[in-house]
A and B are shown apart, each in its own frame.
Chain A
């Protein structure tokens, strides 16, 4: 087990597996999976270039899920040991029996073959959680100092989140998967207050979080120095910018903003557990119900969206999911029509649509796996395709939106509202300065129906988040979304000051 944490690699996996799975089998459980995980999470926060707080946290634990008497049972503990593994299986089997008595439909899981004993490691060079804190403080501190040194900037917050996940999975059919992945999220936000204190504006870096190693900060995939250098002037211009005139605009949306719109309006809407009503109590359902599969007009002909758990550097990429299903790539929307869903094994069996496409994930060994999002991405234009500038040139009156900020969407994924970091007025094909107080609001199918232009491969970027929330108890999941720059026509733009009655 090269590359895995030493303490994790030294755990007596075979003995723990036998203890847990044999005990589960003795209760007559039809399915049982054991996960043993070590998750190291670090955060560093600087305020005005001074350290505000740092956390270095390690969770090691075991979780076991069984299907017994047609019901799920799950138990998790931070206690690691052979006896603990066996008694954990007993607790899971008892939990299944208790809930089975409350009645309801029998749990079925879609078949998945035995993948044997496999290892998978994400592509990275330097585990970010192994880099000394001093190095992280120094890097964030230097960027913060650069920003604070600018006349336009009053305050700066900087943060870096780093995670390393070591995961052992074993189930009753014989799959034993040991996997490792890392991720990091650097972020800086500058605040400028107007000279007369009458208003303020903020601007955050739009560098995406990625499933890469610490080498990401050395200009592998993002020009951090370049972005930090341009923020003071952009922020000063934003502080002086006119407030937007509300009304319909053509929008050229940068992938640093569009990833979140894809996440909310396509990613969550094409989760089959939601579409079938299993999240009705919390996250919600979906307008894209299964009776519409194959014919729902989701967007214009230009719209092709895939789910993918194999994309290099994707935050949701993995070898095998938390139900032992091999990672896959699959179509969700083709030519603007709904053609697929993200699945776990239960939802796949409920809908009778064959094998799971591998979207089960648990954020902790102490949480049961639920269907979570694959890297759901919008395909760029074929061939060379337009550049972002060329998309802007095609617009008479519009707004170019960069970076994500505020987001909200309803429980069936119809009505959404998003803001951003930077808004540039487009006047006859040219950028004509920034605007303030912009939000765009639309209904999902109207919005995607207005998709009128896709940027080419050169505009494509994998954005994403560490903290997508779902499930009860709440779980967070990291996920990436690839997108090109794209043009949407006649979208409703609000003025957020006017919305506040100012």
Chain B
């Protein structure tokens, strides 16, 4: 998978050393992100756009101790022609700044033996089997009255992190996704399939195409249903759409300020409170098989619960919800100290499971007397922060299940639901598998979720869209 390098760009480890050497600040962190990516898009049974890209971002964090406190300054650039100038810019931002609320001492980060290794490169070759299959897939779709659309993307992000406190880290994050949508020629029915993958070795166009053909067959019978509360079966991908929002909202500081679903009032959070009747576990783990991601903090900017001072801090397994009880929220080190909680930075993945379940996703359908089998959710937005009420649409396939079997396709709906209530009204979960959130995968590719059978899901109105 190693493609052509970029002979004109100075080597990332050298950039790190040069910047650290140029630093006149009390302390300094340098992050070099080397990004190589390739993508291909198709629609209307034809390839459309594509791209091969080479990106680099150098971020310099300067820490300046002063009489009034510790200040931080960040400057970043794609390719600094003058590394010393970028370092000086970050120092001048620090001088311009106020004492940082998130200040913590920089600590040695440990070192990786492969720090000097060049970044990994990808190109369109990673899609070769997929692209070979596309032409025949377009041809049979045209012949059989189907229209295919989709997208394949593969990114290799190699991050180099060095600090004046000591330590040199390197991490390669492979991120890939493939999505396929099949529509009938008249546009009356459609279905979607998506997979997350580190390398595309496990992606089969033929398998996904067959799956979508099967679902379009289900849609030969069309059933119109009114809005209302329905039992629904959410596939793991749709569960990821909703549950990722639980993660996004899990800021400790914002919960203490009183403005989120995790707030308990008077500066307190709901940590320790039971959130779901069933003993769900929600966690992140940089070593989760198939979902591996950086085992140390990479923070090019500070926010309510992320701090540039924490760069290089180790990341381990963290349970956000354990046995249905809220166990942790996100804090940076300074915030964790202030709030007397353990500092536990999140890995770039999210997993949900109901321990001990044996059911497959097919079992959830088979166990449903009457309900709606969904495919994926779309255009999800927060409506009310207090309840984490979300609105959104069903998309590309809603099916009526009657007596444990799919009997036809149903119109789309707008829903209004909170993911906490969805977990709270879960009747049955299936085993956790890798999932791809259609709504959020560009920002959160690495998820593993169960399917869920949920009572009284609020379908607020009908969407005529198909």
B54 near A76 with CB under 8 A, answer yes
B76 near A499 with CB under 8 A, answer no
Q: Which of B283-337 contact A (CB under 8 A)?
A: 300-304, 308
Which of A7, A103, A474, A497 touches B384 (beta carbons < 8 Å)? A497
A51 near B383 with CB under 8 A, answer no
B461 near A472 with CB under 8 A, answer no
**Is B53 an interface position by the 8 A CB rule?**
yes
Which of B52, B55, B303, B418 touches A45 (beta carbons < 8 Å)? B303
Interface mask (A383-418 → B, CB under 8 Å = 1, otherwise 0): 000000000000000000000001111111111010
**Is B124 an interface position by the 8 A CB rule?**
yes
- Bound-state CA distance A287–B466 (Å) is 10
**Is A145 an interface position by the 8 A CB rule?**
no
CB distance from B449 to the nearest CB of A (A): 21
Interface mask (A39-52 → B, CB under 8 Å = 1, otherwise 0): 00001010100111
Closest to B95 in A: A134
B383 near A91 with CB under 8 A, answer no
B53 near A77 with CB under 8 A, answer yes
Given contacts A104-B138, A280-B181, contact A410 B465 (CB under 8 A): yes
**Is B98 an interface position by the 8 A CB rule?**
yes
A199 near B150 with CB under 8 A, answer no
A133 near B149 with CB under 8 A, answer no
A408 near B257 with CB under 8 A, answer no
Most buried by A among B139, B153, B416, B462: B416
B89 near A56 with CB under 8 A, answer yes
Closest to A157 in B: B304
Residues of A within 8 A of B464 (CB): 287, 412, 414-415, 443
**Is B458 an interface position by the 8 A CB rule?**
yes
CB distance from A241 to the nearest CB of B (A): 15
Residues of B within 8 A of A103 (CB): 46-47, 134-135, 138-139
Q: Which of B42-84 contact A (CB under 8 A)?
A: 42-57, 73-79, 81
- Bound-state CA distance A76–B393 (Å) is 35
**Is B223 an interface position by the 8 A CB rule?**
no
Residues of A within 8 A of B383 (CB): 406, 417, 419, 439, 496, 499
A59 near B78 with CB under 8 A, answer yes
- Bound-state CA distance A494–B461 (Å) is 11
A414 near B257 with CB under 8 A, answer no
**Is A72 an interface position by the 8 A CB rule?**
yes
**Is A154 an interface position by the 8 A CB rule?**
yes
Tell me the interface secondary structure of chain A in the complex: mixed
B93 near A56 with CB under 8 A, answer yes
CB distance from B321 to the nearest CB of A (A): 20
**Is A441 an interface position by the 8 A CB rule?**
yes
Residues of A within 8 A of B303 (CB): 45, 52-53
* Count of chain A residues with a beta carbon within 8 Å of a chain B beta carbon: 96
Residues of A within 8 A of B96 (CB): 132-134, 137
Which of A50, A76, A472 touches B41 (beta carbons < 8 Å)? A472
B181 near A408 with CB under 8 A, answer no
Residues of A within 8 A of B302 (CB): 52-53
Residues of A within 8 A of B379 (CB): 408-411
Q: Which of A172-180, A364-372, A452-460 contacts B (4 or more CB under 8 A)?
A: A364-372
**Is A73 an interface position by the 8 A CB rule?**
yes
Most buried by A among B97, B381, B461, B465: B465
**Is A55 an interface position by the 8 A CB rule?**
yes
**Is A98 an interface position by the 8 A CB rule?**
yes
Residues of A within 8 A of B17 (CB): none
Which of A285, A366, A497 touches B187 (beta carbons < 8 Å)? A285
Given contacts A99-B47, A154-B258, contact A55 B301 (CB under 8 A): yes
- Bound-state CA distance A101–B40 (Å) is 13
Residues of B within 8 A of A352 (CB): none
**Is A120 an interface position by the 8 A CB rule?**
no
CB distance from A80 to the nearest CB of B (A): 7
A406 near B382 with CB under 8 A, answer yes
Given contacts A52-B304, A368-B49, contact A155 B150 (CB under 8 A): no
B465 near A415 with CB under 8 A, answer yes
B50 near A73 with CB under 8 A, answer yes
- Bound-state CA distance A198–B264 (Å) is 9
**Is A335 an interface position by the 8 A CB rule?**
no
CB distance from A36 to the nearest CB of B (A): 12
A57 near B465 with CB under 8 A, answer no
A281 near B259 with CB under 8 A, answer no
Residues of A within 8 A of B41 (CB): 281, 472
A56 near B380 with CB under 8 A, answer no
CB distance from A444 to the nearest CB of B (A): 10
Q: Which of A196-238 contact B (CB under 8 A)?
A: 197-200, 202
A500 near B465 with CB under 8 A, answer no
B421 near A501 with CB under 8 A, answer yes
Residues of A within 8 A of B73 (CB): 54
Tell me the interface secondary structure of chain B in the complex: strand
A496 near B187 with CB under 8 A, answer no
Given contacts A54-B93, A408-B381, contact A500 B387 (CB under 8 A): yes
**Is A142 an interface position by the 8 A CB rule?**
no
Q: Which of A161-195 contact B (CB under 8 A)?
A: 191, 193
Residues of B within 8 A of A75 (CB): 51-53
**Is B431 an interface position by the 8 A CB rule?**
no
Residues of B within 8 A of A198 (CB): 265
B259 near A191 with CB under 8 A, answer yes
Q: Which of A109-117, A271-279, A301-309, A317-325 contacts B (4 or more CB under 8 A)?
A: A271-279
Which of A50, A51, A78, A155 touches B56 (beta carbons < 8 Å)? A78
CB distance from B7 to the nearest CB of A (A): 8
**Is B145 an interface position by the 8 A CB rule?**
no
Closest to B125 in A: A98
**Is B357 an interface position by the 8 A CB rule?**
no
Closest to B85 in A: A7
Residues of B within 8 A of A137 (CB): 96-98
**Is B8 an interface position by the 8 A CB rule?**
yes
**Is A84 an interface position by the 8 A CB rule?**
yes
B54 near A276 with CB under 8 A, answer no
A50 near B98 with CB under 8 A, answer yes
Which of A57, A95, A197, A500 touches B418 (beta carbons < 8 Å)? A500
**Is A102 an interface position by the 8 A CB rule?**
yes
- Bound-state CA distance A313–B414 (Å) is 35
Most buried by B among A72, A104, A198, A200: A104
Which of A98, A193, A367, A441 touches B460 (beta carbons < 8 Å)? A441
**Is B266 an interface position by the 8 A CB rule?**
yes
B100 near A51 with CB under 8 A, answer yes
B414 near A474 with CB under 8 A, answer no
Given contacts A191-B258, A280-B181, A499-B383, contact A417 B414 (CB under 8 A): yes
A197 near B391 with CB under 8 A, answer no
**Is B151 an interface position by the 8 A CB rule?**
yes
Residues of B within 8 A of A91 (CB): 52
Residues of A within 8 A of B147 (CB): 277, 280
A496 near B384 with CB under 8 A, answer yes
**Is B386 an interface position by the 8 A CB rule?**
yes
**Is A33 an interface position by the 8 A CB rule?**
no
B101 near A104 with CB under 8 A, answer no
CB distance from A497 to the nearest CB of B (A): 7
- Bound-state CA distance A280–B412 (Å) is 16
CB distance from B277 to the nearest CB of A (A): 15
Given contacts A58-B76, A197-B258, contact A74 B51 (CB under 8 A): yes
- Bound-state CA distance A478–B195 (Å) is 30
Query: Ordered nearest first, which 9 A-B pairs have the shortest CB separation?
Result: A104-B46, A197-B265, A281-B149, A412-B465, A53-B302, A499-B416, A415-B463, A103-B135, A410-B465
Given contacts A53-B308, A74-B49, A473-B442, 5 further A-B contacts (CB under 8 A): A52-B303, A75-B51, A77-B54, A102-B131, A417-B391
- A–B complex contacts, Cβ < 8 Å, 8 sampled: A56-B75, A102-B138, A197-B264, A366-B54, A367-B51, A406-B383, A410-B463, A413-B465
A-side residues, CB < 8 A to B, are 7, 43, 45, 47, 50-61, 71-81, 83-84, 91-92, 94-96, 98-105, 132-134, 137, 154-155, 191, 193, 197-200, 202, 276-282, 284-285, 287, 366-368, 370, 406-415, 417, 419, 437, 439, 441, 443, 472-474, 492, 494, 496-497, 499-502
